[in-house]
Structure 1
């Protein structure tokens, strides 16, 4: 078999792989270094077949970490650059928080203003209740001390947006080849020289790894460590920390007409995300669901119909090597959401809105969910390994980060990007980890 070759081989036809391919093709053309014909995307299944294709599609800037917030602002710019092609709905985003998170939310607002990101802070329980009932007449959740209303952001239809990205890449001459399964990597002189696949070897000068939860496997093919030491900001060092930890994603759909979830003026509402310290009681029998801090998010979904959303993922208490990523998402009976999530999420909806009381029977009982591969600090790693293998490890922040591909394309053509510097692998040895908030979500 004649060996295939491409200057740039990108593994993964999800949000990062397709965005990188599109932007890289444009960058090569603009700099006279080549064209989209130099870029090959391969995927073992197809476009949008992995985590990006089952993502809830929420796009937000709401991060406690300054580096994440600046990175997200850049990505929102990209979403806004072609809303139609990306099936993007710029309805905004509501962060609704309890007293325990009030200071965190205030800090996020102040730093959003510092970078020119449009948002509004509502502070104090009385002001929050007035604001929320001004949006939703049936709002009834108690214990809200802060509301951050991002006027940008919103959500996108996942599969449609990825097809839009693929079309842009095709338009620049990029080749997307599926199904092609990676079976190994050829490494010579410390650099990757070829990608081994079930359709033959593909020689390359540069490799981009954009495989979402499958990063564990390509990481091993690069002969990188499964466990690492992690230096903490206080100077202590944790030894033998797993590089990858898997969490089961918790998302589902209430089978209602999405046009029915509107604000008081009949408009599409912002994406709603509430974190709460209030006890959550079962909407059906009144029993206690949890007395710990909890959080959910939800928005109308027009791709498949209904109200779509989720809750904090559940950490899988097994070594990464023991997690079967395939079959993925709805195809996996092991990681599809169960009755505990359905009970919690539908009860939370009823806790927030009177219109959702007694609606559990409308929950769409179909496979949903998936798994995400988290890094030691639950934040992304964007860095080069083995001289020419650029790894995009998004730690399950992925879908909303459409702009990462643009930044990676710049770096692949010799222009280091300040927005990506805080996400280098070296932070685990220098102790320059990202700060953590009081949110129940591991990525906030």
Structure 2
């Protein structure tokens, strides 16, 4: 079966077309060549996952017209232009209009193959990102991990893979990113979902009573406790044991826990023999456990036992395109909880929150949204930007200009970005960050 072409090449010079095609094939690319740009264009669909290489000056449709036509099918398809006859200014214009790269004749073939390789890598990453975004849209309605960013799409995919693998997992991430939610999702999608998820707050360890709760105890083994008690580890057998904030667990307790993880058995306090347990352990940590192990505050052997499978939950500042979506979700939640359906989020608040770094992550954003609906300020309110904050004023000005351009263009994005002189991606990024509903500006046909 013939592989689909990774390169579509248009060149009207027969000798150059043949030589370049052979050179690209020797470099490992699958090439389909054309004498005319119109013929090449007829071979392209939105599913094309390769790169287009074309001369600029050709009879009929030239390279610039081909660029526009290809981008009307899928703006993400990379197009490399080959230029001669002093057409470098034209090629530079093509770059501004979305061409991936250009080469001047005569060109070294290794320069072309390097450009094609970069373009193919770019296209494959783009297609993968689209696939992940599509998966995110499908799962969002039933998934508490709200977000359309690539980081969240990758996190969802990792959760599904780890759930099916039935291995112990170390979840790492800053305070407030939702590590517990991730752990619950791994359990939810695993074959253990029908059994309990037992969560242990390791930061709550105070005295020996916590040890008894974790490991259980035999009858008459503790003062004032005549009956035996089954511990949380044993209770999780067949299900999932969540060790939340394991970085807070005292070193002495870490030694006992290590034996449980290695032997898959637990010995209650005062018991004569251990009890076998069917464990799946998920641990969370807000600090870097590897650094803690090197510093001697966390057992190295326990770290290596847990770190065989690691999952990092990204902070909110790495997925800022999700801030407005999360904000709207939390505002609606607060409106329903507090009985304030009339509340409307002020524009200046939305702009200020889009610019904030959110060191407290999702927890801080939710607290801020609730405080706004209640109009009580509080700790989260201290993060509000002052009216004379330069970033806020710039954001409000940008929002006004974008809205004006959309209003004047009737919601046609192509016209709006021409008015603003912005690349399409920058326009969409700014509109999302500033909470601008583009569809609201589109005029009915």
- TM-score under structure 2 length normalisation: 0.25
- Identify the structure with bigger relative contact order (alpha carbons < 8 Å, sequence gap 6+): 1
Name whichever structure is richer in helix by fraction. 2
Name whichever structure is richer in strand by fraction. 1
**Greater Cα radius of gyration, structure 1 or 2:** 2
- TM-score under structure 1 length normalisation: 0.25
